Amino acid sequence: TANAARTKNLELACKAIDGTILNPGDEFSFNKIVGERTKEKGYLGAIVYTDGGKSEAQEGGGICQVSSTLYLASVYSELTIVERHNHGYPVSYIPLGMDATVSWGFADLKIRNDSPMPVKIQAEESDGYVRVSILGTETRDYNVEMSYTIGGRYVRTYMSKIDKESGEVISKEPYALSGYMDDIY
């Protein structure tokens, strides 16, 4: 984005989570790893959604782009989502129903590695874009695809497992339900 303060916040949050190793059974808490977003830590004022659907500048504004990208990467990696909250309104940087808001002392993103192998989180910011990768040992014979449907103010996400060799759909299951403040048509 053209917002330098927001971009700085993205950079700081990415640096905080980059390189995190999750051994089997380990749980990742976005708020615990990133910590409180303060001026002393270098976070700048940028727009955030507040209760009641208003927006205002707060330190750390914009870092939900990092938590949302981490959430989606974790979903594709089939890590266990322990805690996730969607925004009050859809965001433009991630597909509908696949966002994850965080707020110090209130809403967290928690992910657990229930696989038998360790994984590593890589995160980086570049020109206002966030890239998160989950590195580990691939043991699946299928790929994961996410999709969604809209019904009024609700978005239902679905996880499909696609056979790597044949390209056939093995399964398609409801994954999460996100409720927003207004209808999304």
pLDDT in tens, 12-42: 999 999 999 999 999 999 999 999 999 999 9
Mean pLDDT across the chain: 94
Provide the β-strand partners of residue 131. 124
Does the pLDDT value for residue 74 go beyond 70?
yes
pLDDT of residue 144: 98
**pLDDT tens-digit series, residues 131-162:** 999 999 999 999 999 999 999 999 999 999 99
Torsion angle, CA of 23/29/33/39, rounded to 10 degrees?
Answer: 170
**The pLDDT of residue 48 is above 90:** no
Mapped to the 3 state alphabet, what secondary structure does the chain carry? CCCHHHHHHHHHHHHHHCCCEECCCCEEEHHHHHCCCCHHHCCCEEEEECHHHCEEEEECCCCHHHHHHHHHHHHHCCCEEEECCCCCCCCCCCCCCCCCCCECCCECCEEECCCCCCEEEEEEEECCEEEEEEECCCCCCEEEEEEEEEECCEEEEEEEEEECCCCCEEEEEEEEEEECCCCCC
Q: What is the mean pLDDT of residues 68-88?
A: 97
Predicted pLDDT at 81: 98
Q: Give the C-alpha separation, 180 to 165, whole Å.
A: 38
- For residues 128 and 77, the model is more confident at 77
pLDDT at 58: 87
Q: Give me the pLDDT at residue 1, please.
A: 55
pLDDT of residue 52: 66
**146-to-76, 78, 141, 167 alpha-carbon distances in Å:** 8, 12, 17, 15
Closest by CA position to 108, among listed 11, 37, 12:
37
